[in-house]
Amino acid sequence: MNIAVGIDVSKGKSVVAAMRPFGEVALPPREFLHTSADLSALTESLRLIDGNTRVILEATGRYHEPIVVVLRDAGIFVSIVNPKLIKDFGNNSLRKVKTDKADAVKTARYGLEYWEEMREHTETDTVRQQLKLFLRQYNLHMKTVVALQNNLILLLDSVFPEVNELFKSPVRDDGHHKWVDFVCTFYHRDCVSGVSVSAFSERYHKWCKRKGYNFSTAKAAELHAASREMVVTMPKNALTKALITSAAGQLIAATTALATLKSEFIRLAATLPEYEIVNSMYGVGDITGAQLMAEIGDVRRFANRGALIAFAGVDPGVNESGKHSAQSVRTTKRGSPHLRKTLFQIVSTHLKNSPEEEPVYQFIDRKRAEGKPYLVYMTAAANKFLRIYHAKVKEYLNGLDSVERNT
């Protein structure tokens, strides 16, 4: 007999209830702490129940992860469900009951109702959760880097104006910017203009060799000439040096941490089976590809492309009642805002580069020719990209599964 175990998860504890078909209670609602002793007791309680047991719980940030790890290690079927689906399920009562016990029972009833549609949480899903965590941290560090960079440029406007614009070198793999390393040593305009061109060129040459940057005599002369034209408002002294080097040091630490995070999540993303096919799509790079795979997860959990589009929240809404039928309705925006941001970046790449052979750009161009507003054709293009993504990635993953079964 099928037994659905519903778990209402909260921080540090959960309420568990098990139901059989026709409303029969197999395990009354009971609270378990997220400790090794209580989770072991939960595992034993579930093993004592006769029948085909499946555990259903909501995705609740990181709170549900200890339960998932313990139950999966015990060989118990665990399925993680979108909270919106359970919230909208079975609301056929005039009374509003919101307790942990009631939510656990409701989750169990949802599991019985959609028993055949339950998808087991796998090791690959755990990798995707780790990837999502890396990307959340990456986005947080990126905001910090932008703030620190703007702060340093603001400070340099008083001692070495627009020095950052004198360097065109790309960011190194370790996160270092040449202009930031430069101002750590040459923190004031007078550090450059206060000596002769030859003296600065020699010092700059030694600095480039020490830091691992390319040296150019012409670049040294350019920096010296530009510094002599700058107007500064703060003197060259120990206080100014401490101020600039401190701000530059904070920025270097942040960019180094950001580079480390980037290399780690790219390495983690490369372990996913769909990595190559996703990164081969136009407009998708290392970062956006990892974001797509982390936010969407296993694309096979979406029954059709419409389900994926609804998850992303780029599906057009519907507003009809009687004779009224709205012609222009906003998108639902019920899904992941991080996914929508990634889609906007990808579509923007299409718009900027105008690849005539790409179907997404062709779609954008057609909608613009029809006179559609900017947000309308950008959202429609995101919708189009997701349809292509669903078809390509799902076909690829199904092909891999077929090969594994045949071998």
Task: Outline where DSSP puts E strands in 52-183.
Answer: 52-58, 77-81
Contacts with 50 (C-beta within 8 Å, 6 or more apart), sequence order: 1
Q: Sketch out the chain's domains with CATH numbers.
A: 2-121 (3.30.420.10), 132-269 (1.10.287), 275-406 (no CATH)
| Among 274, 178, 160, 255, residue whose Cα is nearest residue 219 | 178
Contacts with 307 (C-beta within 8 Å, 6 or more apart), sequence order: none
Cα separation, 401 vs 273, whole angstroms? 10
- Output the tens digit of pLDDT for each of the chain's 407 residues: 789 999 999 888 999 999 999 888 888 999 999 999 999 999 999 988 888 999 999 888 788 888 998 999 899 999 998 888 888 887 766 567 778 898 899 999 999 998 988 888 888 888 888 898 899 899 999 999 999 999 999 999 999 999 999 999 889 999 999 999 999 999 999 999 999 999 999 999 999 999 999 999 999 999 999 999 999 999 999 999 999 999 999 999 999 999 999 999 999 999 999 999 999 999 999 999 999 999 998 898 888 898 899 888 887 765 555 665 556 666 777 778 899 999 999 999 999 999 999 999 999 999 999 998 898 899 999 999 999 999 999 999 988 877 777 76
Contacts with 16 (C-beta within 8 Å, 6 or more apart), sequence order: 5, 6, 7, 8, 27, 29, 30, 31, 32, 42, 45, 104
- pTM given for the model: 0.78
